[in-house]
Structure 1
Amino acid sequence: MKRIISEELPAAVGPYVHGSMINGILFSSGQLPIDPKTGKMPEGIEAQAKQSLENCRVLLAHEDMEMKDIVKTNIFMDDVSDFAKVNDIYAAYFEDGEYPARTAYEVGNLPLGALIEIEVIASKGN
């Protein structure tokens, strides 16, 4: 198993790595909407959804993978009434409707007061 830590992603806010790779399958930690350049989160659900997805994209690229390699996502939202806004942002990250399986949850609280956190499972070589 390979533990993944990328200097291109925000530092972990706890004792974990950005992801783990085993047998060509990448399991990401939840990607908070922290901008790695500033260390801060943007305002609003749309900007935060984009940043979390960008962080997912960077993690995948670290392992020579792309968004199309994602087979499953879990989306954790502070407020499920943001579901439609998140869907619009999310859809733009996948080509021609080639979406992975997905689950979306409303949760009580997210770390650092984030509005969204996204984790992915991706398979290399499909």
Structure 2
Amino acid sequence: MTHEIIHTDKAPAAIGPYSQATKGCANLFTSGQLGINPATGELPEDFTEQARQAFENVKAIVEAAGGTMDNVMKITIFLTDMANFPAVNTVMQQYCRAPYPARSCFAVAALPKGGAVEVEAIASV
């Protein structure tokens, strides 16, 4: 099976040996997106701003592959502090609408660049 590499300048460039996303058999798999602003390369200090930007980055990648957030079937969220769970739920509702995609949310010890949240998605495009 072959797959297509998806890249957009509207999301941060990969900071390691991976692609922003891959697409194959109508499925798109994004890499985890931190809340890094692709224009500045900066990570906001505020959790809600990081979460919003992480979802913006996922959205930009899904759109670069020809889809919309309505095509997202599964989201995985990584948090360094589960106290931010209510805030990330609020942000997610700004990007996904009912019926919501399936989702997993995990607490992790740390994220790259000192991020507080990372979001990845699987979409059908």
CA positional deviation for 1:21:
0.1
| Letter of the structure 1 residue corresponding to residue 118 of structure 2 | E
Q: 1:84 aligns with which of 83, 86, 92?
A: 86
In the TM superposition, what whole-angstrom CA distance separates every residue of 1:74-114 from its partner, at most 9, and x where no partner exists? Answer: 0000101110011011112123x221000000000000000
SS in structure 2 at match of 1:104: strand
Contact in 2 for aligned 1:68/1:98 (Cα 8 Å): no
Structure 1, residues 36-86: CA drift from partner, whole Å, max 9, x if none?
010001121110110000001100110110111000000000101110011
Match of 2:64 in 1: 62
| Structure 2 alignment gaps of length 5 or more | none
Contact 2:77 2:104 in 1 (8 A): yes
Equivalent residue runs for 1:1-126 within 5 Å: 1-95=3-97, 97-124=98-125
Distance 2:95 2:12 in 1: 20
Q: How high is the TM-score relative to the length of structure 1?
A: 0.94
Secondary structure of residue in 2 paired with 1:92: helix
Root-mean-square deviation (Å): 0.8
Asked if 2 retains the 8 angstrom alpha-carbon contact of 1:5 and 1:18, the reply is yes
Provide the C-alpha distance between the structure 1 equivalents of 2:11 and 2:50, rounded to a whole number of angstroms.
15
SS at match of 1:76: strand
Unaligned runs of 5+ in 1: none
Q: State the identity as a percent.
A: 37
In the comparison of the two structures, how many residue pairs are matched?
A: 123
The SS at the match of 2:103 is strand
